[in-house]
Amino acid sequence: MTFQLPSMVSKLPDYYLYVNECFNVISEGENMIEEIGPNVFRGNCNLTNLDLSGCLKLTTIGPLAISGCLELQNIVFPPNIESMGFSCLSNCTSLVSLNLCNCSKMKTIPSFYCNEQYSLREIVFPPNIQTIGTCAFRNCTNLEMMNLSQYLQLTKLDNNAFLNAWSLQDFVFPPNIKEISLCVFQNCTSLTRLDLSNCHQLTKLGSYSFSGCFSLREIILPPNIDEIETATFEKCTSLVSIRIPASVKEIGKNSFLGCSQLEQVIFEGDPLIDGCAFDDCPRLSRKIFSQKRHSGFLYGKYSELKGILKFEQQQGGTCGIRLEDFLDDSNIVVLPCGHAFFEEEFHEWILRRKICPSCRVELK
């Protein structure tokens, strides 16, 4: 059954089509609807198509308005939408794709917006989105890829936003993100890489934000982060190594609890570390290195820096501390005198002696 929306009313009242068995809802031509109230289409278990493109004056959709439409496969929003209520599209378990690109006035994805949309694979966000709300995409277990690099106004991912998105393998963060809140990516068990290197305004990672990400193997923290909160990377059991930027002042309780494969933590600064931060990390006991980078020294891969080295080290040379040859992907440090060393060994050396291991020139 097809249902034509009325053209002369300004609001569809609460529960207007609640549990009404219609398959197709359309809005042909321009109408006067400005608001769709709470629960209007809620529980329409046979609804497969919802076309609101003719509602050009529509600005507001209420809480739970389209939730529980288990067979909904296609939805078209008009361009003047400004706000949608919490759980607006929750439990629409057959919806595969969601396109909000025309909703340029919408600034916030509301709480529980697409909660438990088990079939959802693709999302196109409003171009001016600023916040993704609490539990907005919780339990969206078929999401695999999320690229938010083009959303320059997006600054906040709220609590539990992508909690239990088990299939999420790759997430590209918006460059101006300022806040990743509590449990945002908890139990995203397919996420393999976390690159926050371009997120210069991000200063804090919320508690449990990446807890239970079992497949996470590589983490690149933002350059200005000052705190890693409680249990942020708890039970990231594939993580082997991580570098902590000098900007980090505090590492909270259980931050890396249960990271059973973690072998190396490289500290560029001297943060305050909670006594339980690295509990149950059995491989870490002798492999934590304090590595504060020094002004005037060059750091990078041997393949990138070998052209400026002196002496025999330009051609597969040997580290004067470890007495092993450099490989192209070796992390090295080049001193002002031109000598190069493996970065880990050099920083252990300089804690004891302030001279070059090769030419004995004094280091400041």
For residue 37, CA distances in Å to 1, 11, 59, 80, 256 come to: 22, 7, 11, 16, 45
For residue 257, CA distances in Å to 205, 237, 288 come to: 16, 9, 15
Q: Which residues contact 70 (CB under 8 A, 6 or more apart)?
A: 45, 91, 92, 93, 94
130-292 folds as: 3.80.10
Structural Rg of the chain based on CA atoms: 26
Could you give the CA distance from residue 180 to residue 209 in angstroms, rounded to a whole number? 7
Cβ–Cβ < 8 Å for 133, 160: no
Predicted confidence at residue 289, as pLDDT, reads 54
Of 74, 77, 35, nearest to 54 (Cα)?
Answer: 77
Could you give the CA distance from residue 89 to residue 133 in angstroms, rounded to a whole number? 13
Tell me the domain boundaries of the chain. Answer: 1-129, 130-292, 298-350
Could you give the CA distance from residue 173 to residue 205 in angstroms, rounded to a whole number? 13
Residue 141: exposure state from Cβ atoms within 10 A (0-12, 13-18, ≥19): middle
Structure tokens at 329: 């992907």
1-129 folds as: 3.80.10
Cβ–Cβ < 8 Å for 319, 326: yes
Predicted confidence at residue 28, as pLDDT, reads 66
Predicted confidence at residue 313, as pLDDT, reads 55
Predicted confidence at residue 292, as pLDDT, reads 62
Could you give the CA distance from residue 163 to residue 21 in angstroms, rounded to a whole number? 32
Predicted confidence at residue 135, as pLDDT, reads 97
Cβ–Cβ < 8 Å for 307, 314: yes
The reply to whether 298-350 shares the fold of 1-129 is no
Q: What is the dihedral of CA 148, 150, 156, 162, to 10 degrees?
A: -10
Structure tokens at 261: 């494969």
Secondary-structure class of domain 298-350 per CATH:
alpha beta
Of 88, 146, 138, 133, nearest to 118 (Cα)?
Answer: 138
pTM: 0.78
List the pLDDT tens digit at each of the 364 positions of the chain. 666 677 778 888 786 766 556 667 777 667 788 999 999 889 888 889 999 988 899 999 999 999 999 999 999 999 999 999 999 999 999 999 999 999 999 999 999 999 999 999 999 999 999 999 999 999 999 999 999 999 999 999 999 999 999 999 999 999 999 999 999 999 999 999 999 999 999 998 999 999 999 999 999 999 999 999 999 999 999 999 998 988 999 999 999 999 999 988 888 777 888 989 999 999 886 555 555 667 788 888 888 887 777 665 555 678 888 888 888 888 888 888 888 888 878 877 887 788 888 888 888 7
Sheet holding 2-4, edge to edge: 2-4, 24-26, 49-51, 74-76
Could you give the CA distance from residue 9 to residue 160 in angstroms, rounded to a whole number? 37
Indicate the residue type of 364: K
Handedness of CA 212, 213, 219, 223 (dihedral sign): negative
Of 287, 293, 286, 285, nearest to 346 (Cα)?
Answer: 293
Predicted confidence at residue 202, as pLDDT, reads 96
Sheet holding 340-342, edge to edge: 298-301, 331-334, 340-342
Could you give the CA distance from residue 71 to residue 2 in angstroms, rounded to a whole number? 15
Could you give the CA distance from residue 74 to residue 41 in angstroms, rounded to a whole number? 14
Cβ–Cβ < 8 Å for 282, 260: yes
User: Length of the chain in residues, anyone?
Assistant: 364
Residue 218, helix vs strand vs coil: strand
Of 116, 118, 119, 120, nearest to 100 (Cα)?
Answer: 120
